[in-house]
Structures are given as C-alpha cells and as structure tokens.
C-alpha cells in the first residue's frame, strides 16, 4: 500500500486488512445510518463508485430516503430502500458513518447475518458493537472529522483513482461533518483533503449551493414556527427549540426538513448546550443536541439510549416534546450541576 501524505491512520494493520477485503471481494452491499446525512451518503457513494469502477457489483441500501439537498450527489439514483430476498454469496457488507447495527435500521440483523465480511468505517463514540464480531473489520476513530476522510485515505492507500464524482461525494462529506469548517473537529488535514478533492474535480460553489441553498419553501415556513418556541434556561446556557406534529401538519414539512435547526439555538452567544426536539408523529420524538465547549452531549444522549460525538449527538425516544425537554434538562443537571 502507498503511504498517505495525511498521517491520520492509527491502526495501519487493520486499515490494510480492510484494503485487502475490498480488493478481494466481488459482491458488495453498502449502507449507512438511518436518517442519512451528507457524510453517510457521500462516504457510501464514494466507496461504492470506486468499487464499481474496479468492476465489482455494488448494492447501495439505506433504510431512510436521501434528503433532497444531497440528492445531487452522483449516484444517489442507485440507492435502494429495500433489499433483494437474498444477498449474493460472498457478500461484503460495508457500513459507513455508523458504528452500531441498530443505527442501520430494521434490516441490520439480516444484512449482517448474510454477509461474509463486514467492514465498518466510522467516527462516532464506539460502543463496541462490532468488537467481538469475528467477521467484522471495524475501523472506528472518533478523532477523524468525517467518515468521508476515512474513505479517502482508504482509496489513496489502495491507489484507487479519485475521479470528479468520487471527489464531489467526499468533499460534501467533509463539508457536512465539519459544518463547512466551523466545528471543533476542523483540522489542517480537513482543509488539505478538501483542497486535494477540489483539485480532483469537486466544485465548492456548486456543492455549497446544493447543500445549503436548495431547500424547499416548506422548511422555512416550519422554521418560522419553530423559532417562536425558543426557550432559554440556566442563565442562557441552554437553549431549546421544539417542532410539534401540528407544525409539520400546517406547513406540510417533513422530518428531513429540520436538518440543522438546532444550529439556530446554538448560535446564541450565551449558549453552551443547544437542544432541538422534534415530534413528527405524536409520541415519537427525535432530539438533536449540540454543545460549544465543555458539555459532552454524547454522554447526555447516551443516558437516553442515543449517542454521537462530544459536541454533536442525538437520540430518539417516546413521549411529548415538553416531557423530553424536562428529562434532558434534568440529565444535564445530574451530570454537570446547574450550568453557569
């Protein structure tokens, strides 16, 4: 394998084993986490395109639909949301941007059981789901800013070409997970990789327009209602926004239209923890948590069966938005005391 100019690989032996599995396999199924984002889809399409370019058979599967603003990524039309009755023999399953089976969705067990080899590339808090699975090669590194970066390192190490389509997917993955180079995970390597990908054909202006300025009007109508729910607690350190089933009904908006609404709570100067609570269908609640400095929101989310990263995490639960809000406020206080 070629050495990379990006010195980010901590477990080279495992990385090389993954390279060998990709080289040796012929039938691949690629998947990612539910409610996929630009890193999940971008990583999946980049790796899948590279595998197809090598003459391999690739099935792309996600449980949930691809959000409208990332539909432009080359290859999204090949993504299916149902699986063939049986996978081909000797299937290699690649799980991207997802480190635990249940985050793949309802087909997780079936997929993993039928696969000969399971490759996991991820950067979330590792709960060890794949650690004891004999057929799994799980490369999970919380310090990597995007799963797309891992895919890029893999392709580079295998000396597989990165064409314009692959570069577009990987650049979008990096932009998504660094919040366009604003999040705390933004490193020099993130810029260097982005620069490399632009040279390889990714068009930053085109991609930014698609990712951030191509939303349906209903999203902005919903945002108007959501912003009116703003509440702040703990001397302005915690800000909460909510979206209720009624708001989705009157605006015709969908779950996917709320991406990064939590950012409007986070952008208040005093805020350390931002919370967005979304109830699309009565009783089913999804929560996004963000922090700026010292609160580890992955640990808060974990208390509710979710997970994520230090500064960005989430979970799903049942109840009403108000009950869930109170439970989160209580959990933050339990872990950190009253924020000041």
Residues that bind Mn ion (CB under 5 A): 37, 39-40, 97, 147, 177
Instruction: Output the six-digit token pair for 260.
Output: 């990064």
Closer residue to ligand AMP, CB minimum distance, 19 or 38: 38
Closer residue to ligand AMP, CB minimum distance, 153 or 277: 277
d(CA 167, CA 145): 17
Among positions 60, 171, 315, 336, the unique one binding ligand AMP when judged by CB under 6 A = 315
Tell me the closest approach of the beta carbon of residue 338 to ligand AMP, in angstroms: 24
d(CA 248, CA 34): 20
Tell me the closest approach of the beta carbon of residue 163 to ligand AMP, in angstroms: 28
314 binds ligand AMP (CB under 6 A): yes
Positions 188 through 227 that interact with ligand AMP (CB under 6 A): none
Whether 237 contacts 273, CB under 8 Å: yes
Closer residue to ligand AMP, CB minimum distance, 104 or 169: 104
What's phi and psi for 292, nearest 5 deg? -100, -40
Residue at shortest CB range from Mn ion: 39
d(CA 316, CA 306): 7
Instruction: Output the six-digit token pair for 109.
Output: 């067990």
Positions 263 through 282 that interact with ligand AMP (CB under 6 A): none
What's phi and psi for 261, nearest 5 deg? -60, -30
Sign of torsion over alpha carbons 139, 145, 150, 156 = negative
Local structure of residue 278 (DSSP, 8 states)? E
First-to-last alpha carbon distance for the chain, in angstroms, is 51
Closer residue to Mn ion, CB minimum distance, 121 or 226: 121
295 binds ligand AMP (CB under 6 A): no
User: Per residue in 206-236, is it b (16+ CB within 10 Å) or e — as a string?
Assistant: ebeebbeeebeeebebbbebbeebeeebbee
Q: Which does 312 bind (CB under 5 to 8 A by kind): ligand AMP, Mn ion, none?
A: ligand AMP
Tell me the closest approach of the beta carbon of residue 116 to ligand AMP, in angstroms: 27
Q: Which does 306 bind (CB under 5 to 8 A by kind): Mn ion, ligand AMP, none?
A: ligand AMP
Q: Binding-site residue total for ligand AMP (CB under 6 A)? A: 13
Closer residue to Mn ion, CB minimum distance, 70 or 115: 70
316 binds ligand AMP (CB under 6 A): yes
| Site for ligand AMP, rule CB under 6 A | 33, 103, 124, 288, 306-309, 312-316
């Amino acid at each position: 394998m070629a050495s990379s100019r990006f010195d980010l690989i901590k477990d080279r032996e495992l990385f090389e084993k993954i390279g060998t599995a990709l080289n040796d396999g012929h039938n691949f199924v690629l998947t990612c986490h539910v409610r996929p984002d630009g890193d999940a889809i971008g990583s999946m399409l980049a790796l899948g395109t590279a595998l197809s370019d090598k003459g391999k058979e690739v099935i792309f599967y996600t449980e949930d639909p691809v959000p409208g603003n990332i539909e432009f990524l080359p290859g999204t039309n090949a993504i299916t949301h149902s699986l063939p009755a049986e996978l081909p023999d000797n299937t290699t399953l690649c799980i991207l941007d997802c480190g635990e089976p249940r985050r793949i969705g309802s087909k997780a067990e079936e997929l993993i059981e039928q696969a000969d080899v399971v490759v996991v590339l991820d950067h979330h808090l590792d709960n060890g789901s794949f650690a004891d699975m004999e057929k799994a090669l799980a490369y999970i590194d919380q310090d990597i800013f995007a799963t797309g970066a891992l895919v890029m390192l893999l392709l580079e190490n295998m000396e597989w070409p990165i064409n314009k389509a692959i570069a577009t997917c990987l650049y979008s993955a990096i932009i998504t997970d660094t919040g366009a180079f604003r999040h705390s995970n933004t490193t020099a390597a993130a810029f260097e990789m982005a620069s490399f990908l632009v040279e390889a054909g990714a068009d930053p202006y085109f991609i930014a327009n698609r990712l951030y300025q191509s939303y349906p009007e209903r999203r902005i109508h919903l945002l108007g209602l959501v912003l009116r729910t703003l509440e702040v607690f703990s001397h302005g350190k915690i800000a909460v926004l909510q979206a209720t089933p009624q708001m989705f009904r009157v605006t015709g908006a969908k779950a996917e239209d709320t991406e990064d609404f939590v950012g409007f709570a986070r952008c208040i100067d005093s805020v350390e923890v931002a919370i967005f609570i979304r109830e699309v269908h009565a009783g089913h609640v999804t929560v996004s948590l963000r922090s700026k400095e010292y609160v580890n929101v992955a640990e808060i989310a974990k208390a509710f069966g979710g997970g994520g990263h230090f500064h960005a995490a989430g979970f799903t639960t049942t109840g009403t938005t108000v009950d869930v809000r109170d439970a989160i406020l209580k959990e933050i206080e339990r872990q950190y005391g009253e924020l000041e």
